[in-house]
Amino acid sequence: MMRPRILIALAALLLLAVSCGIYSFSGTSIQPDVKTITINYIENKALKVNPSLSNDLTEALRVTFRRMTRLEQVDFDGDLEISGEITGYDVAAQAISAQETAAQNRLTVTVKITFVSRKYPEEGFENKSFTGYADYDATNSLDAVENQLCTDIIQKIVDDIFNATVAQW
């Protein structure tokens, strides 16, 4: 007899928490009065340039916010705004073989992001760096593995940006 009451009370509490904006199942903590987001084009200002990286990163951010939030994406003056630039795109030897040659290389991408919250300015930040990397066997050329490495790196960076902006982890 007591068990159904407890279950009903827990269900009501969960429903209340979700409807009040305290918790969301996507892990976001967006205030209920925040309705729109502007995600500006992420420019590539790295010394070495991957021609598709800016487009791919910008689109991945837009897709993630569309899929994981209720926010409407607008071209300008959103309640939230993300802008930034790619500042690093580097390859370095990661592991050395017994013959003193690179056995593994690491591609590292660095992005600086500015996040503006027009309704809650204290939640914003400016020029915060996000870095993602992926290692690959040195017997492969960068050209041969670059697309897959960039896909993996972009996903990590997008996840980090998402968590820092609306999940606030």
Q: How confident is the model at residue 62 (pLDDT cuts 50, 70, 90)?
A: very high
Instruction: HSE, CB side, 13 Å, CA atoms: give it for residue 86.
Output: 29
Residue 98 pLDDT: 66
Whole-prediction pTM value?
A: 0.80
Greatest CA span in the chain, whole angstroms?
74
Q: How confident is the model at residue 22 (pLDDT cuts 50, 70, 90)?
A: very low
Residue 97 pLDDT: 67
Q: How confident is the model at residue 26 (pLDDT cuts 50, 70, 90)?
A: very low
State the chain's mean pLDDT as an integer.
87
Residue 137 pLDDT: 92
Instruction: HSE, CB side, 13 Å, CA atoms: give it for residue 153.
Output: 28
With 60 as the cut, is the pLDDT of residue 12 above it?
yes
Pair 84, 44: CB distance under 8 Å? no
What is the spatial distance between Cα 88 and Cα 81, in angstroms, rounded to a whole number? 22
Residues of the chain with CATH 3.30.160.150: 31-167
Number of Cβ within a 10 Å radius of residue 126: 10
Give mean pLDDT, residues 113-142: 95
Regarding predicted confidence, which is higher, 15 or 86?
86
With 50 as the cut, is the pLDDT of residue 24 above it?
no
With 60 as the cut, is the pLDDT of residue 135 above it?
yes
Query: Quick one: tokens of 73?
Result: 């994406």
Burial class of 9 by CB neighbour count within 10 A (0 to 12, 13 to 18, 19+): exposed
CATH number of 31-167: 3.30.160.150
Query: Quick one: tokens of 101?
Result: 């040659």
